[in-house]
Amino acid sequence: MQKKQDIKTMTELDKIIIKYKNTPGMLLRVIEETQKLDPHKCLNHKTLEYIAKKTKTPVSKIYNIVTFYTFFNLKPQGKHSIVVCRGTACHTRGSRNLLDFLIKYFGFNEPAEGQQTSLTTNDKKFTLKTVACFGQCALAPVVEIDGNIYSRMNPEKLHKIIDPIIKKRKK
């Protein structure tokens, strides 16, 4: 017998699949909306298999999509997300300093050189990620916090933005 949560989730997935059936970019839309259902903005294997089965799409194609686009997550994410641009313009204008500041601020272990950064605090409140480019080069360095883009960032500005979020979290 299936758990009630599984049945509820499958029903919600079925609605999403029907909503986008035969529309351009259907798979992207279905996967994106499905990810929003999860409290940790994460796609698990069981869910991706279900989408594959219902859309008659090979699981390998679903995984190709999920691993290609950086906004899809296969690991649980924090409630708040901080994304640091590592594109050339942002890099030359100090995005590495921003990344180093955030790694130290949250007490993360330094990722291996060249490794894609996606780090989540133990309490699942914050996820720190990098992206190759936001396409906001004239505003470099750029950081996205909870979907909002902040330009011409430096560690001091960044601290002023995230500190109130941290203080709310502790209350």
Q: Quick: pLDDT tens for 60-93.
A: 999 999 988 878 999 899 999 999 999 999 999 9
* The pLDDT value given to residue 5: 53
CA torsion angle 53 58 63 68 (round to 10): -130
What is the reported pTM?
Answer: 0.74
Which of the given ranges, 47-61, 119-133, 154-168, has the highest pLDDT on average? 47-61
Residue type, 21: K
> Tokens representing 137?
């080069």
- Mean pLDDT within 11-24: 92
Q: Please name which of 26, 24, 76 lies closest in space to residue 51, comparing C-alpha atoms.
A: 26
Which residue, 130, 119, 53, is CA-closest to 91? Answer: 130
